[in-house]
Amino acid sequence: MPTLWGYSISAARSIDYDKNDPLFRRWLAIASPSSQLCIGCGGCTAACSAGNLTEFNIRRLQMLVKRGESRETAEQLHKCMLCGKCLLVCPRGVDTRQMILSMKRFLREHDQ
């Protein structure tokens, strides 16, 4: 159908509400309200100590959670060193460290 109208859906960019689990997202919105302020600028990732030498990408991880895809976050999040650099560069005042700690707590509580 979509191709009929001249556009296509890229799987990487779409949010599939049938498959995704909104639990983590909803929980994060409450546990870390400032995470809602993120505009996805990527400043955090640019500054990130852990991302300096690896593929670790904190902006991507939080975006995935917000899309309801927590698998990659569960696999990657422990690479964050909680150093706080991202917190200092975020232009939107997202309390990234607190957000990451909340995410860790969620993962622990849900055994992921």
Q: Point out which residues bind ligand SF4 (CB under 6 A).
A: 38-44, 47-51, 58-59, 80-86, 89-90, 92, 94, 96-97
* Cα separation values, 69 from 39, 45, 64, Å: 18, 19, 5
Nearer to other proteins, 18 or 55 (CB): 55
Cα-trace Rg, the chain? 15
Q: Which does 53 bind (CB under 5 to 8 A by kind): other proteins, ligand SF4, none?
A: other proteins
Nearer to ligand SF4, 9 or 83 (CB): 83
Cβ(50)–Cβ(81) under 8 Å? yes
